[in-house]
A and B are shown apart, each in its own frame.
Chain A
Amino acid sequence: GAGVSQSPSNKVTEKGKDVELRCDPISGHTALYWYRQSLGQGLEFLIYFQGNSAPDKSGLPSDRFSAERTGGSVSTLTIQRTQQEDSAVYLCASSPHSTSNYGYTFGSGTRLTVV
């Protein structure tokens, strides 16, 4: 597609429920990144994919968070047993390569609210 697409754009869930957030990167972009943006804070790195593998998942806050990428394209971020502190905007970005020269194209994000 023309840009990075994320769905849903907004998600309200009850504490303890599981949620899945989807990212559809730009076609042909091999690198994919998930970030979290909390109110008043910067962007916190969560996980990086190169193709279908995740060589850097150092930013995942706990084992309740997991992500996968299939076909070198769509990625899903799953949060199990959601907590109120998981409320944030989850951003996905893609890049043609993982070398540092390209910068990212960001999606519009998924605003997650845990009530």
Chain B
Amino acid sequence: AQSVSQHNHHVILSEAASLELGCNYSYGGTVNLFWYVQYPGQHLQLLLKYFSGDPLVKGIKGFEAEFIKSKFSFNLRKPSVQWSDTAEYFCAVVPGSSNTGKLIFGQGTTLQVKP
């Protein structure tokens, strides 16, 4: 079965530190990839997405992610985090052949940024 693995469950950083959250998926075919963010007390929001083309995707709030097909990875990065980036981050995958659009989510990574 398809699955998504986020290796870091809880990350604590100081402001201005660089961030990289790992995401690996298990599916051999074409995939569409997403990162969602859930700020405290708010609903899930789309951070960025990859469908095709340039494997380096830029999203909102200075986030970017790189799709590395050979590694089945879609890691999220930000050069310098802010206290306001404290949130839970979810990686998600949809097989490109899907006719339901059903997203398969990872377990989530809680990011705590210390001021």
Binding partners A and B: yes
Is B107's CB under 8 angstroms from A42's CB?
Answer: yes
Is B94's CB under 8 angstroms from A100's CB?
Answer: yes
Give the distance in Å from the alpha carbon of A42 to the alpha carbon of B89 in the complex: 10
Binds B, one of A14-22, A60-68, A73-81, A91-99: A91-99
Is B102's CB under 8 angstroms from A103's CB?
Answer: no
Number of interface residues of A (CB under 8 A): 27
A-side interface residues toward B, CB under 8 Å? Answer: 31, 33, 35, 40-43, 45, 48, 50, 55-56, 91, 93, 95, 97-104, 106-109
What are 30 of the A-B contact pairs (CB < 8 Å)? A31-B101, A42-B4, A42-B6, A42-B105, A42-B108, A43-B90, A43-B92, A43-B108, A45-B102, A45-B104, A48-B100, A48-B101, A48-B102, A50-B100, A55-B100, A56-B100, A91-B44, A97-B101, A98-B99, A98-B100, A99-B98, A101-B51, A103-B46, A103-B103, A104-B44, A104-B101, A104-B103, A106-B44, A108-B42, A108-B43
